[in-house]
Structure 1
Amino acid sequence: MILENLDKIKAEVVELINELLGESRVIGFDEDLIMFGLDSLKSIQFIVKLEDHFKIKFEIDELVLDHFSTVSKISMQVERKLN
């Protein structure tokens, strides 16, 4: 059940990234998102988008760049906040 939820979250994260970037790209779950144009400004916009979409709130101390560098890491952060 947790793996199914994590897979669903990963798919939604990829969709949100593509929406933010205005593209429709295949993004590997462990690829560095900087390679896709997710710079510091877009990262902030993306975190706000994640919070709105999943109805969660990240605390300041949770906003560590490494936690948001790949779809897999982002999905684990979201899944943790949802549970």
Structure 2
Amino acid sequence: MSMSMQQEERYSTILSCVKQVLELNEEPGYDTDLSMLGLDSITTVNLIVALENEFDIIFENDDLVVDYFSTITQIDAIIAEKKGGR
């Protein structure tokens, strides 16, 4: 699958946020279950705040679904939707 430059930039920023919040040394795979790497309710809130700041978006209450933040791919999908496309 070939990614657009815009999508590559989003993935890179998401990976950076995830690595920082979960204190990871290595980048997780795009479809790795982040809960297996330590994502829990507290770190999810920290990740949401970091993503909101990095992407200048606001996650509404309807967006706060655990599945939306379970993988890099899922996070990218909701951010792309918030930013108006892929």
Give the TM-score of the pair, scaled to structure 2. 0.87
**Equivalent residue, structure 1, for 2:10:** 9
Shift of 1:23: 2.6
Structure 2 stretches lacking a partner, 5+ long:
none
Is the aligned partner of 1:49 residue 2:50? yes
Deviations 1:31-63 (A, max 9, x none): 100011111110011001100110000110111
Residue 73 of structure 1 aligns with an amino acid whose one-letter code is Q
The answer to which structure, 1 or 2, has the higher relative contact order (CA under 8 A, 6+ apart) is: 1
Deviations 1:51-78 (A, max 9, x none): 0110000110111111110000101111
| Ranges of 4+ aligned residues in structure 1 off by more than 6 Å | none
CA distance in 1: counterparts of 2:78 and 2:4, whole angstroms: 14
CA distance in 1: counterparts of 2:24 and 2:71, whole angstroms: 17
CA contact (8 A) 1:6 1:76 kept: no
CA contact (8 A) 2:13 2:54 kept: no
CA distance in 2: counterparts of 1:24 and 1:64, whole angstroms: 26
Structure 1 vs Structure 2 CA RMSD: 1.3
Is the aligned partner of 1:80 residue 2:76? no
Structure 1 stretches lacking a partner, 5+ long:
none
Task: Give me the identity figure in percent.
Answer: 33
Query: What is the aligned residue count?
Result: 82
Give the TM-score of the pair, scaled to structure 1. 0.90
Residue 51 of structure 1 aligns with an amino acid whose one-letter code is E
